[in-house]
Amino acid sequence: MKKAEILKLLRESGDYLSGQELCSRFGVSRTAVWKIINQLKDEGYEIEAVQNKGYRLQSSPDLLEEGEIASRLGTGRMGNNLICLPSTGSTNVDAKKAAEEGAAEGTLVVTDCQEAGRGRRGRAWSSPAGCNIYFTLLLRPPCRPEQACMLTLVMALAVAKAVRELGLDAGIKWPNDIVLSGKKVCGILTEMSAETDYIHYVVIGTGINVNQEEFPEEIGKTATSLKREKGEGVARATLLASIIGHFERAYEVFSASWDLRSLLPAYQELLLNKDRPVRVLDPGGEFQGTARGINESGELLVEREDGTLEAVYAGEVSVRGIYGYV
Amino acid sequence: MKKAEILKLLRESGDYLSGQELCSRFGVSRTAVWKIINQLKDEGYEIEAVQNKGYRLQSSPDLLEEGEIASRLGTGRMGNNLICLPSTGSTNVDAKKAAEEGAAEGTLVVTDCQEAGRGRRGRAWSSPAGCNIYFTLLLRPPCRPEQACMLTLVMALAVAKAVRELGLDAGIKWPNDIVLSGKKVCGILTEMSAETDYIHYVVIGTGINVNQEEFPEEIGKTATSLKREKGEGVARATLLASIIGHFERAYEVFSASWDLRSLLPAYQELLLNKDRPVRVLDPGGEFQGTARGINESGELLVEREDGTLEAVYAGEVSVRGIYGYV
């Protein structure tokens, strides 16, 4: 894809590049280069053209599009197969379909707008166009199904790290919500297809409120966006590339033991639930306690009032006291 | 479905039923009854018709078809939604598709012939027409994914029980092979679609060698059929109905605790691995031991040479020494 390559070269140079240089570099005609430059301008890139000097990139629009993303990804397998869609029903559905058809580990489906975005247990996930990030990463981990469940925490860690690098004080609400000023900015939905002891594939869908400014009333009290918290817009393709990079490194660490032992310190440090009250909806009876951290399997360790420690699963616990006063 | 009802009535009566009786019972004309009787004859049912006495069912062909199965099922939800196909690619694929479209728990897909039958990890499962049973049961258990993994053992137990009621000495090779005279007669492939803590659905595919007489050379040493072991044919619809009945009862017991505690004695009694040598392919190193039984999670308990007991997962263990000298 010549467009992405020319864009990358312009961005990396930061200075003028002559049309002649671009022609010989990519083996295309001056007319072809001129056409690509015009295409980029149409998409919102500001490119200065100066006689005898050449082209210089002045600014990029906030696009979530193949050239923008591919030119920023510094990963190996993750995102190597990149599927960018202007809009789609749900990136998890697309990724599952691709997986059934044999798509490789690391396949990344990204879209600017989801018409049928879904959260956990079939709940809707608001996915307006032009401001946020919606992506799904396809994995084929050679581990057991219950080990793959921890991947949702690995992604939470990757997103939290990338958001913190923007200068924002992001924390994790166990198991996988990213929280800023007591409000949620990211949701993760991990799904898998497996035999009893063999995983066909795992898809990790992630939705991040990036530059969204207005929220519907019903979620405005519990949801926010990076732009609202930071006071300025965030470049989506750059953030996405950063998340995928963090995830690739964390996944490599995770896959050495297929548990969270090596990621535990980093996760615990960002865990907002620590030393906070929690209500556990145990099948054997509800109880109150204090969250103390997680274990290597990703379970939340809850201290009962009598001092005993219990490990609880996601889905069994109602973690109150985080939203609103972090 | 009038045909199934008339067939059921004829079978249960065991004696002559007058055309008049059948007409008034089902609110149809004598011509309609006569047409259905002729349809049944065409399908291979031997039905005697005697003036002034009526119709009497003398024998049924070995059909794996809707009327035959539905008229024998005495279950509640299991098999209530019955999808019978003369032939198909794979009943697991059909059941997964039905599940994605919202099919209810208990949906049963049955076929006489699979063109693309699959065993574990994508291996082929030989599925010739006219002699065996291939079915998939759809479940939507409100438990955790790792608990649903045990359902494959629940189905193994149901199949073993139904086969034993035919007078055959069936045993279970952990986790889910049904074995007769040291050879395999049944394979089970359980697959699920799940979020990290929430199951969308589970499909349990089962293939049973019932009346197959000839086996390809490559599997003839390790595979057999009920007919070969019993010396006579087995009615497939009756056997299937019996399996589904056993499964429904076992599933009810299982779902009381979502573990195998109450099914343990029955399973252990049929477990062929007990007190036999086993080789465990542990990621931390291979070791030899002696199988002692299973625990409530369906794991195999292996005694090491130093006397310590270890619980191992399916997929980590190579259970040798069963085929060939049971």
* Tens-place pLDDT, residues B312-321: 876 655 555 4
A197 and chain B in contact, CB less than 8 A: yes
Tokens standing for residue A246: 């963090």
**pLDDT at residue number A5:** 83
User: Would you say residue B326 lies in a domain?
Assistant: no
Confidence of residue B30 (pLDDT cuts 50, 70, 90): confident
Residues B266, B282: one domain? no
Q: What is the CATH number of the domain that holds B33?
A: 1.10.10.10
SS3 assignment, position A286:
strand
Task: Tell me the mean pLDDT in the region B247-261.
Answer: 97
| Burial class (CB within 10 angstroms; exposed 0-12, middle 13-18, buried 19+) of B4 | middle
User: Would you say residue B301 lies in a domain?
Assistant: yes
CA gap B110, B133 in Å, rounded = 8
Partners of residue A205 on adjacent β-strands: A136, A189
Residues A143, A215: one domain? yes
Give A252 to chain B, closest Cα distance, Å: 17
Residues A288, A162: one domain? no
A233 and chain B in contact, CB less than 8 A: no
Phi, then psi, of B221 in degrees rounded to 5 = -80, -25
**pLDDT at residue number A11:** 86
The domain total for chain B is: 3
- Bin B80: left if φ > 0, else alpha if -120 < ψ < 50, else beta: alpha
Residues 6+ apart with CB under 8 A from B159: B170, B178, B186, B188, B206, B208, B243, B246
Q: What is the CATH number of the domain that holds A312?
A: 2.30.30.100
Residues A248, A139: one domain? yes
CA gap A267, A262 in Å, rounded = 10
User: Would you say residue A132 lies in a domain?
Assistant: yes
Q: How do strand B46-50 and strand B317-318 relate by DSSP bridges?
A: unpaired
User: Would you say residue A179 lies in a domain?
Assistant: yes
Quickly tell me which residue has 């996601």 as its tokens: A314
Confidence of residue A315 (pLDDT cuts 50, 70, 90): low
Residues B131, B208: one domain? yes
User: Would you say residue A325 lies in a domain?
Assistant: no
| Higher-confidence position of A318 and B117 | B117
Residue-wise pLDDT tens digits, B73-90: 989 999 999 999 999 999
Among residues A59, A78, A94, which one ends one of the domains? A59
Residues A154, A258: one domain? yes
User: Would you say residue B247 lies in a domain?
Assistant: yes
Residue A167 pLDDT > 80, yes or no? yes
> pTM of the entire structure?
0.79
B196 and chain A in contact, CB less than 8 A: yes
Measured between beta carbons, the chain B residues lying within 8 angstroms of A149 are 145, 196-197
CA B137 to chain centre: 9
User: Would you say residue A178 lies in a domain?
Assistant: yes
CB A250 within 8 A of CB A162: no
What is the helix (H) or strand (E) element at residue B82, kind and residue range?
Answer: strand B82-85
Quickly tell me which residue has 């600014």 as its tokens: A59
CA gap B74, B55 in Å, rounded = 25
Give B150 to chain A, closest Cα distance, Å: 8
From the list A307, A302, A304, the residue with the least C-alpha distance to A319 is A302
Among residues B270, B289, B306, which one ends one of the domains? B270
**pLDDT at residue number A30:** 87
Residue B140 pLDDT > 90, yes or no? yes
Task: Tell me the mean pLDDT in the region B70-75.
Answer: 90
Residues B106, B219: one domain? yes
Residues A41, A172: one domain? no
Q: What is the CATH number of the domain that holds A128?
A: 3.30.930.10
| Higher-confidence position of B27 and B272 | B272
For chain B, the average pLDDT equals 90
End-to-end CA distance of chain A: 45
Phi, then psi, of B238 in degrees rounded to 5 = -65, -45
User: Would you say residue A252 lies in a domain?
Assistant: yes
Residues B34, B106: one domain? no
Residue-range definition of the domain harbouring residue A311: 277-318
Beta carbons of B315 and A197 less than 8 Å apart: yes
DSSP state letter for A212: -
Nearest by CB to residue A198, choosing from B121, B146, B198, is B121
Among residues B26, B44, B59, which one ends one of the domains? B59
**pLDDT at residue number B322:** 43
Neighbours of B318 (CB within 10 A): 9
CA gap B216, A259 in Å, rounded = 43
A193 and chain B in contact, CB less than 8 A: yes
Neighbours of A308 (CB within 10 A): 9
Residues B113, B222: one domain? yes
Residue-wise pLDDT tens digits, A251-284: 999 999 999 999 999 999 999 999 998 888 766 6
Residues A231, A94: one domain? yes
List, as ranges, residues 138-177 from B with C-beta within 8 Å of A.
Answer: 144-146, 149, 152, 175
Residues B50, B23: one domain? yes
Contacts 24+ apart (CB under 8 A), A27-36: A28/A2, A32/A2, A33/A6, A36/A2, A36/A3, A36/A6
